[in-house]
Structure formats: structure tokens, C-alpha cells
Amino acid sequence: MEKKRVLVLDGAGRQCLPIMRSLKKAGNYVVVICPTRCCEGYFSRYADKRLIWPDIYEDERGFYLCLLNYLKANRCDVILPLGDVTAHLVSLHKQKLSEYTSMPVPDYDVFMRAADKAQTMEYCMAGGIPCPRTYDVEKKSLEEIIAEVPFPVMVKPRRGIGAVGLHRFETQDMLRKHYDAVRIKYGPLIIQEFIPLSGTQFQAEAFCNANSKMTVCMVIGKPRFFPVTGGTSTCNITTDRPDIVENVRRLLEGIKWVGSADVDLILDPRDNVPKILEINPRVTAGIKIGFEAGIDYADLQLRLALGEDVPVIKEYKLGVVLRNLCLDILWYKYSDKVARKSTVPPFWRFFGSNIKYQTFRIDDPFPFIGFILGNLTKYTKPGAWSQKVGSDIKK
């Protein structure tokens, strides 16, 4: 493939690191966008150029204007949005941006089918794809839902990132008492059947070509996550689950998905069936595990954006472990003794040919410094720590 000039939009996300490395190793010219110098992408040796733009989480319009002006003034073959907000923005403005560059994202209506948990769950329930019973409070009254759903229940924003806005309510009275406050803070909500957390959690890193045919689906077990009541995975391991692959295929091909998608699932211990919880319509922070398992997701993105054939990849290395060490330490601190003793792989196993880390790599060590500096900046803001460690979870 001819070498290209690629604009990576998420320099403050860990997922940019293996993407940038792959692009640069293939001989492409890599430009990374960062909200500050204190982030992973800015410190990576695999960036040819680093640009500081407004933080998209604080100034989405400012970010978009920088992007549009840059594309008008500079040749750019492909832009790669890797995070939730950049993926949403690029899909929303796909028609305009396509005048200047190419991008591996679906049209906006398709993007929203995946980003909106209510639409995702509605599709699963209508098609018989295993998922928790889910209620859209915009379509059914709270009291009607309370009369039907067993407690405890999970309440989630229809759109959200990680565990932000996730609430568990044990009783009807607690749900009635807090529902309005949660709705005001996080916007439209869904109410979902609670699946016992004793079931293994999974995620499927999938990729669909321009015709919405799934060409890749790597299944990952999530033995540890933080907050411990449900949140971001702190340790992942590649595994083989054909049943999950088939259900993910039915879902993504059914909604006409294009590009990268991460599908979260949980094994329901009541019937031993893995059930789909949500689609994250983006590249995840832990995508490095795919590269370590033998799947080059950067090459897939580039091929899709440029209209090239996207290869079908059915095999990948099993048993690859990827850790987010900082969050894994928090998991250990807040988990109980039984979980610490029984977790597989063991928490105290830090080294081995199959054990990798999200941010650190010998041939590109400095992004770890950017990761530390970025988190010091983020978590020292007033109130930031309590929000990040899951104080939103109510019981």
C-alpha cells in the first residue's frame, strides 16, 4: 500500500500508541493531535508531528474548527478518530470532512444505533440476541417499568463512557428517590435487568468492512475491572468463544456497522449465556492486546478508509494478557480477599512472554511519562478523584 499521511485525533488516549507504532513502522507519516503536552501520544517516538488543539471534551466546536482548517490547509490522506467523542464528531460531520480526506467511520445514523444503548438493546431483544432485559424510560413510564422488572436494577445513561453515570438500585423506593437526580445529571436513561457480577465479563474487538461484513472478532476475557462493581477493565486476556463471535456478528452486521467496534458482554451465571451489554463505537484503550495477538487494527483502519480490501482474520494468539497497571493496583486495593486469591491471571505475576502493558513498551518508553503527567493533572483537579473512582455507583 502506498505510504500515507495520517492524522491521529486522540493523542491523549492509550489506544493511539499501538496505532501510531503500526502506521509508522509501515512507513506512513503520522501526525498526532493532543490537548496538552502531558499525554501519551505527545511523548511517543512514532509521531512525526505533534499538534496542540483545544481539548475536545471541553471545546468540541474549537476542536472541529481546528480540524477543518487543518484539512483545508494541509494534505491529509486519512484521519483516525479513536475515542468516543472524536468518533462521534467525525461521523456527525462525515459529509463535510470527506471533501478533504478519508475516514473509517460509519454514517451518523448507523453510528447512533451503536452509541445509543437503548437502540442497541432494542435491536438485540427484537432479534433474539442474548442481552439483559432493558427498558427505555422515554417510551415507558417509570412506574410501569418498576412493576415489571425484578430488583436490583442497573440504571445507565443512553450514551456514556465507562462506568460514568452507572447506578445500581436495590429497591423500588431507592430508584424512585434518586431517578430524577440521575436523569438531570446524565440525560436520558435506560433501566436494565441486573446480571450477577459473579459472571465473567468479556469484550469483543470487532471490525466490519465497507459492506458491513464482520472480518475480525477477537474475544477478550475481563477478569478484573475498576470500579470493582463494574467499570473499565484493568486486565484482559485473549480467549476463544465462538458463541460470542456469532452473536457479535449478528448484531454488528444487523445494524450495518462499518469499522472498529468494541462490544461488551457478561456471562449470566443463571443460565451460563454471555449477554451483550453495549457497543462502544470506537477503538478501545486496550486495543494493544490485538496487536500483540497478531491483528494489525491500524492496517484495517487504513484499508477501510482508502477503499482497499479488508482481510478476513479468524485466528489470533490466545492467552495474551494486557494490564493497565495503575487501575489494576486500584482493583487490588478495593477488591476483597477472595477475589484477590482466585483471580486468573494472578495479580502478582508481572512478567512473562505473554504479559503486556497498555502504556509501556521498551521501544517506546516515554509515553508512560506522558500518561503519569496527564493523570496527575487530571486527578488533582478539585473533585476529580472521587468521580473517577466510582462515587457515582449507588446501592
User: 210 and 173 share a domain?
Assistant: no
User: 209 and 155 share a domain?
Assistant: no
From first to last of its 395 residues, the chain has per-residue pLDDT tens of 679 999 999 999 999 999 999 999 999 999 999 999 999 999 999 999 999 999 999 999 999 999 999 999 999 999 999 999 999 999 999 999 999 999 999 999 999 999 999 999 999 999 999 999 999 998 999 999 999 999 999 999 998 776 788 899 999 999 999 999 999 999 999 999 999 877 789 999 999 999 999 999 999 999 998 888 777 889 999 999 999 999 999 999 999 999 999 999 999 999 999 999 999 999 998 999 999 999 999 999 999 999 999 999 999 999 999 999 988 999 999 999 999 999 999 999 999 999 999 988 989 988 888 888 887 777 666 554 444 433 333 33
User: 156 and 259 share a domain?
Assistant: no
| Coil vs helix vs strand at 338 | helix
Query: Which of 194, 222, 240 is the endpoint of a domain?
Result: 194
User: 267 and 358 share a domain?
Assistant: yes
Mode of pairing for the β-strands spanning 321-323 and 232-239: antiparallel
374 lies in some domain: no
User: 213 and 230 share a domain?
Assistant: yes
The CATH number for 359's domain is 3.30.470.20
User: 190 and 233 share a domain?
Assistant: no
Into how many domains does the chain fold?
Answer: 3
User: 282 and 175 share a domain?
Assistant: no
User: Residue 136 has what pLDDT?
Assistant: 93
User: 225 and 357 share a domain?
Assistant: yes
Query: Which of 168, 194, 220 is the endpoint of a domain?
Result: 194
- 180 C-beta neighbours (distance < 10 Å), count: 10
User: 208 and 354 share a domain?
Assistant: yes
343 lies in some domain: yes
250 lies in some domain: yes
User: 277 and 217 share a domain?
Assistant: yes
Nearest to residue 101, comparing CAs of 124, 122, 81, 126?
81
112 lies in some domain: no
Q: Under a CB-based contact definition with an 8 Å cutoff, are residues 347 and 340 in contact?
A: yes
318 lies in some domain: yes
| Amino acid identity for residue 282 in this structure | R
User: 177 and 213 share a domain?
Assistant: no
Phi then psi for 222, rounded to 5 degrees?
-120, 80
Segments forming the whole domain that contains residue 46:
5-105
User: 182 and 228 share a domain?
Assistant: no
94 lies in some domain: yes
User: Residue 2 has what pLDDT?
Assistant: 76
The CATH number for 144's domain is 3.30.1490.20
380 lies in some domain: no
Query: Which of 143, 178, 194 is the endpoint of a domain?
Result: 194
Residue 226 cell numbers, joined: 475498576
Q: Under a CB-based contact definition with an 8 Å cutoff, are residues 177 and 169 in contact?
A: no
190 lies in some domain: yes
Whole-number Å distance between alpha carbons of 48 and 28: 9
